[in-house]
Structure formats: C-alpha cells, structure tokens
Structure 1
Amino acid sequence: MDQKLDHQILDQLKKCSKDEASFSKLEEIFGELYQHYEEVKKQLSLVEQAIKHDYDSILITELDLEKPGPKIVYVNDGFTKMTGYTKEEVLGKTPRILQGEKTDRHVLDRLKERLIEGQAFFGHTVNYKKDGSEFVNQWDIHPLTNKNGEITHWVSYQRDITDRKESSKLIFDANLDFDNLIEESKKTYVDLDIQGNIIASNNSFKNLLGYDADELKTVKIWDLVSDDDQKELKNLFADFDSKKVEDESYPWKFIQKDGDEVKLEGNINYFVSNDETIIRVHFDNISLRNRIVETLKRKKSEFEDIVGKKDEFSLRFVITEDGETGCKFVSDSFKSVTGLDPDTILGNGVKDVIHADDLSDIEKALEKAFNGTPSSISCKYKTSEGDYISVIQSFKPDYGSSGEVVESVKSVAVIELEVEN
C-alpha cells in the first residue's frame, strides 16, 4: 500500500475492528480505495488545469431537468472563484441559485429545449454571484454518457465574459461610430449578438421606430416585429448559422413606438469581435420604397400629359446557354425614354447602357431575382445625348408554366424625372 493513511483515519478503522486481523484487512481495503481516490483526484486536477485557460468554471449536474431542476453534484475551484459560493453551499442545489431579475428567460427556455433534445448548448446571459453582483455568464453545456451511450449528467463549462461584452460595446462606440458618417447614416441597421440582443443601432433605425438607445437595450429584435414574424426571427437566432442567412433577404413588419407598422427587408451579415459573433442586419425600407413607386406612378400620367413622352420601359432577362445573363425583350418605350435603339441591349444585356457605378447593383438584383427574390434599385441609364437618366428599376422572377423554376426576370424601369450630366 503506497498511500499512507493519517492517524485520524487509522483510529476510526480500529474502532470499527473487532480484532487486529480485521483491522489489518480494513486498513488494506481502505488504503486501496484511498489510493484510487487520490489517483482520480489527480487526474481530475490535470483535466481542470488543461482547460482552465478556456473556461473559468466547471459544473456538473444530474440529468433531471424538471422542477426544481437538475441538482449540482460537482463544481471546481473556478466556480467558487467566479461566483463566491463554496462547494458545500451549492452541492445538492440547482443552477437556479445563480439566476435573477436580468437573467434572460428566452435563453433559459432555449437551453432547456436543447437539453431535452439531448443536444449541447452554447449561450450566455446575466447571472448573479453570492454577493448579489451581476456578471455575464457564458455556458458551453454538453451531455455526459455511460458506457451504453445513455445520458447520465450534464457538464457545464462556464466563463465570465462581462469585460469582453463591455469592450465589444466600446469597439462599437469608438470604431463603428456610423452615426457621424455621412454615407453610413443614410443606411438603417442594427448590430445583434447571437441571442437577439441589440448591441448597437444607428440613428436611422432608432428614428424610424421611435425608440431611443436605452429602450432598445431592454428588448430583443423579435420584440419589435409583428406577431406573424416573431417565430421566424426566434428560429433564426435559436441556432444561428451564418452560412444559411448571409445571402438571403428577410421581409419583416416592425411595429413603431406609436403603434404604426413599417415593413423592412433585412439583409444579414456577421463578423467576430473579441471572439464574439456579431450579427449586422441592414434594412431596406420596403414601405418607403413602395410609397416612392406609387408616387412615381401617380406622376406618370402627369408627365405624359405634359411632354407627351413615356416615362417607363420594360425588359425581360434570361440566362443564356453559356450561363451569362442576357436580355430577350425590350419594350418600344425604351427608345422613347433613352433615345437608344433596343438592339443595343438585346442579347447582350444592359452593361453597355448602365452607369458604371450601378453595374454591381444591377447584377446583384438580377441574381436575387433568378433565385426567386424580387427587389428594386435606383440606377442611371445612358441616353443618346450622352447624359444619364435616373430610374427606379424593379426585378421580378417569372416562374413560367412550371411554377417552380425561375425561367426569366421581368424588369420595369420608371423614370425619376431628372437628368444628370
């Protein structure tokens, strides 16, 4: 027996022994168990040392998720340092002792849902230390299984990311001061974390909905949309996958503070700041765009009455055999509006008659339309006099007789009644 037992343990063993032979046997058995305990303790310590740079705390609970909740069966020293609770104070309790007023209920519901499914969970929310102080606790929770593959416990690797969250906000304030940039202030967008919390928003977004920055900090992005759109937004952030959303546009109805409704189309991108994924949603005001189109339509008859000239033309685009985008139809009014012969763009497309600054927008709009998403852009067409005329051009997918595959894209360009040199 390599492990020496202390005198207190030996005294207890003697009290439990009826004679010297039984004492020697108990000493041998207990010594082997104690040696095994020390080896396991040493291995556990090595594991904790190996991951302490990635996680501040380790917590293991029982499997049962029903109320009062899974009981804590193990915490490491990092848990004690992070929360202020001793091991004795939390063993047998549930992780609810860390929850409080600002703990995000939606995150907890999603956590429970994932664990019921037997899946891992990654997320964060506000927790509370023993002294009542707040901290942002990031969880990385995984199931522990027995040799039969059955889940027996949950292990939660935790980290206090309060300082990181605050530094992320400082980065937004210092480096992404988009409210003071002339070009950026024309746009409307918000920055969110992967749980739907609004980290930052520009003046255009705040003014559009009528909320100030402090009000937006208390809600999630789906709290601002209509009931019909809440489910889609919640599902989008439940298991955020950037690969699935980067190239898609999402039309959502937002409810302004005064109760009015405004329809916005969101385009989603993401980047990483301080190891945290930040989701940036840039919005196109569909309601405003529709009002502009309606206004232009109302001006159409007035314009034709005054100058006797058409103010719109139609095009139809197709994908050619070599995979390029070509134009198969040009309305007669194209020549009336631009003075150019329709043959200029038939077959070749509009690249030779569009202002160079607008080519990229045209290509993106066509790509979206061929993928089934309609859109509208503002662009400039060359005229026979060498000027450029501004139009609002819409792109609408045409599924043809199949109803399933986009066969062509119908496009209507409505003049904005202004000419630029």
Structure 2
Amino acid sequence: MDHKLDEKILAQLKQCSKDEASLSKLKELYEELHDRFQEVKKQLSLVEQAIKHDYDSILITDLDLENPGPKIVYVNDGFTRMTGYTREEVIGKTPRILQGEKTDRHVLDRLKERLIEGQAFFGHTVNYRKDGSEFINQWDIHPLTNKNGEITHWVSYQRDITDRKESSKLIFDANLDFDNLVEESKKTFVDLDVQGNIISSNSSFKNLLGYDADELKTVKIWGLVSEDDQAELKALFEDFDSDKIGEDSYSWEFIGKEGDTVKLEGNINYFVSNEETVIRIHFDNISLRNRIIETLKKKKNKFEDIVGKKDEFSLRFVVNEDGETGCKFISDSFTAITGLDPDLVIEKGVSEVLLHADDVKAIEKALEKAFNGTSSSVSCKYKTSDGNYISVVQSFKPGYGANEEVVESVKSVALIELEVEN
C-alpha cells in the first residue's frame, strides 16, 4: 500500500525507524490511521451533504465560554463560502471575528446564557464577512457530548437568511398590505421576529410614536416602552414558545420619539412565514380611548345642561298663498332645548332666527324635495339663546291631505347630536 505514502511522509517515517522492520510497522500504522481518517472524512461529508439544504455552514468550537470566548476548531467549506474566511484564518480564533457594529448585543448575551446552562440556542443577528459586508446569520447551536454525557464542544449550524428576511418584507407588503387592510380598521399593528426585532409595522404605529420604518429597525420592541414595562415585554420573547400565547391582553406605556407617552393594549398572535415565526401584535390606544370617554362625558354633561331630558323637537312647514315656505308649528321641547321663543321663529323664519349660515341652502333644498314628495335628512346647526350652536340631524317628511298626490305640509324632526360648538 505504499501508494498512500508520498515521498515526504515516507522520508519522515524512515527517519523515525531503526531498521526495515520498524519502518514496515510504522507504514502499517500510518496506513491504518489513514484509512480511519478517510472513513471519518467520508462520514463527515455525508453529514454535511444531508444538512446542506438546511444550513449553509458548520462551525465547531471548544467548550471555553470565558474571554476571549470559545475557539474555533472546525469549519466546513460552506463556512468559507459564506464568510470569505479560509480555514487557516479562523481555526484557533473565536466567532467574534464575524461580529461588528450592528451585531445585536442582547442576542449574544442570551446566547451565552443558554450555553452556560448547557442548552441549545436558536437565533439570528447581523454578522460580517471578511470583506466587511453584512449578512443576517441564523444560528442553530447544540452541545456535543462525550460517552459520559459531558459537554466537550459546541456545534453551530449556520445560514445566511438575508434574502429570506427581505422576501418576508415583500410578502408583508404584497399580500398583507398593512396600510390598506389595517388602516381601514383603524388598528395599530406591528410584526416582530422571535427576538423582538420589528419586521414591519403599519402607518398607525409609526405615526403614533413618530418613528419611520428605518428607525424602528434599530430598536427592540421593549426599547420603545417605559422602564417599568420592559421586563414583561422581554420575558415574552425570551425562548419564545408559541404554545404559551393565550388570549390575555397586555398594557404597556410606549414612549414616542419626542418623549410623549401613550398607553397601548396589545393582543398577541403569531404565524409562520418562510419558515420563520412572526409575532403579530394588534394594539388598542388606551390613552385615546380614555380621552374619548372623557370627552363624551363632558359632551353629555354639556348636552344635559342645554337640553335637560329633551333630545328632539319637531316643526311643521307649509307654503302660504304667496308661494313662500314658512314654519307653521314648533313643539314645546324646542324652547327647552334652544331657549328661544317659538313665536319669534314662526314670525321671522327658521333661516333668519335659527340656522347657521352655512346650513341655510341645505335646509331650503331639503324642504323643496319634501314638498315634491321626497323625504330626506340633513345635518345642520341651530342657534341657542346663549349664542352657542347645537348640532342636529333633521329629517323632512312630506305630509299629504285628502288628495294623496298633493303635499300639504312637511313635518320635520330635529334630533340632537352630542356636539356643542361655540
């Protein structure tokens, strides 16, 4: 089997041999080791072939987690293609050579915690190739143990998922159409990966906090909330388990770009896109909801101050002998609501005494349609005795006499809206 020995190795074996017998023995041992090496190499190649569709590279480090960190003891060809580093350049170095400015420190801290606990870790962050270009590296790290079950090394299966992240964004833009679907329902909406990074958000979320899409990419979701709420939000994303997602709502105080705060109530869901788990949170604006409730309470109180228990009044219009339309009757609730004398309105006309100038034409048109047999409703403002205006929805309905084809009068009902303007 001398064909396995090149001239250099054969010369070294001869130097280590005392005689031909010892040389023959060394050659035999070398050939046995060589055969074992080739078998192991073949098995390793088969393993790499089996997983190459799931992972781009394999990296194995020793156990030492203390500074400067575990040293690389093996990388496959996929690692050199993905990073641009040769084996010789990385063996004995730490994986920190792949880290840089945008590498997420939180992910690295969590990774170290998991490894210290002897647990597997799955995650991703920005890494850097030898030429300085960025890529998103996804890790799937597992402990390697000896026959006694003791951890001896860490194996990291890695993949460049930059294109996947970009395609996910395209899927969100093309298929989900956040700003149309969500904005129409007035929802505030954000999608996150399992590490709390913001993948995408709708305009309502961005406008509410004052950030643009690029700014949101640089922060974790818990980086947008008050200090008191950060721990709860972080806990949701540590070792994210979709089975633990329930129907509970969470209330967090978000801090906008300008320092203003808003209380949001979030409902959490998740889905899988391009093999990646995406956490989707719909928010209700509690601060806005509370303001609306308070405003409605104030309007209700103001309304009750103005109208007491009355919420509508009725009028009847007729056309006189000169062909002019005038008010013939006003119900008793009119005075309780407006504070005005109904006789004054009947004498001078609704347009002169009651109506806001902007609404005169709309009322005249509605009366004309009603006298022609068509019912309608309009929104308008009526003046009150204290100089304010109240908003009403006023209906106009034709009233027929003995001749059912001729409109003799028009009945109008004005229903008060919860709005008061000065």
How does the TM-score come out when normalised to structure 2? Answer: 0.70
Which segment is superposed worse, 30-39 or 138-147? Answer: 30-39
Q: Distance in 1 between matches of 2:198 and 2:309?
A: 49
Aligned counterparts of 1:270 and 1:3: Cα–Cα separation in 2: 61
Highest CA radius of gyration, 1 or 2?
Answer: 2
Structure 2 CA distance for aligned equivalents of residues 231 and 309 of structure 1: 50
**Alpha-carbon shift at residue 185 of structure 1 (Å):** 5.5
- The equivalences for 1:320-331 within 5 A come to none
CA contact 1:185–1:202 (8 Å) conserved in 2: no
State the alpha-carbon separation in 2 of the partners of residues 303 and 203 from structure 1: 35
Unmatched runs of 5 consecutive residues or more in structure 2: 312-416
1:208 offset after TM fit, Å? 0.9
Which segment is superposed worse, 194-203 or 53-62? 194-203
Q: Does 1:100 align with 2:100?
A: yes
Mapped to 1, the partners of 2:77 and 2:289 lie a distance apart of: 58
Deviation per CA, 1:205-261, whole angstroms, max 9, x where unpaired?
111111122211221111110001111111111111122124121100001112121
Q: 1:103-252 counterparts in 2 under 5 A? A: 103-181=103-181, 184=184, 186-252=186-252
Matched residue type, 2:260: D
2:211 partner SS: coil
In the TM superposition, residue 300 of structure 1 has moved relative to its aligned partner by: 4.1
Q: Which residue pairs with 2:321 in the alignment? A: none
Given that 2:299 and 2:418 are in contact with CA atoms closer than 8 Å, whether structure 1 keeps it comes out as: no
Q: In terms of mean alpha carbon deviation, does 29-38 or 114-123 score higher?
A: 29-38
- Cα distance between partner residues in 1 of 2:80 and 2:146: 27
Amino acid at match of 1:43: Q
**1:6-405 to 2 correspondence within 5 Å?**
6-181=6-181, 184=184, 186-306=186-306, 308=308
Over residues 9-49 of structure 1, what are the superposed CA-to-partner deviations in whole Å (9 max), with x where a residue is unaligned? 22211111111111111112222122111111111111111
CA deviation profile, 1:134-170 (whole Å, cap 9, x unmatched): 1111000001111111111100000011111111111
Aligned CA RMSD, in angstroms, stands at: 2.2
CA contact 1:303–1:309 (8 Å) conserved in 2: no
The residue type paired with residue 54 of structure 1 is D
Where structure 1 has 5 or more consecutive residues not aligned to the other structure, the ranges are: 312-415
Distance apart, 1:181 and its partner CA? 4.1
Task: State the aligned residue count.
Answer: 314
Deviation at 1:302, TM superposition (A): 3.9
For residues 127 and 249 of structure 2, what CA distance do their matches in structure 1 show?
A: 35
| Distance change in 2, residues 1:182/1:279 (3 Å) | closer
Distance 1:262 1:183 in 2: 19
Counterpart code for 1:144: L
**C-alpha contact 1:3 1:34 (8 A) present in aligned 2:** no
User: Match for 2:143: what amino acid?
Assistant: P
Residues 29, 244 of structure 1: CA spacing in aligned structure 2 closer, same or farther, 3 A cutoff? Answer: same
Q: For residue 93 of structure 1, give the secondary structure of its aligned residue in structure 2.
A: coil
2:213 & 2:200 partners in 1: Cα distance? 8
SS at structure 1 position matched to 2:4: coil
TM-score, normalised with respect to structure 1: 0.71
C-alpha distance in 2 between matches for 1:30 and 1:300 = 96
CA contact (8 A) 1:60 1:75 kept: yes
Q: Where do 4+ consecutive residues of structure 1 move more than 6 Å?
A: none
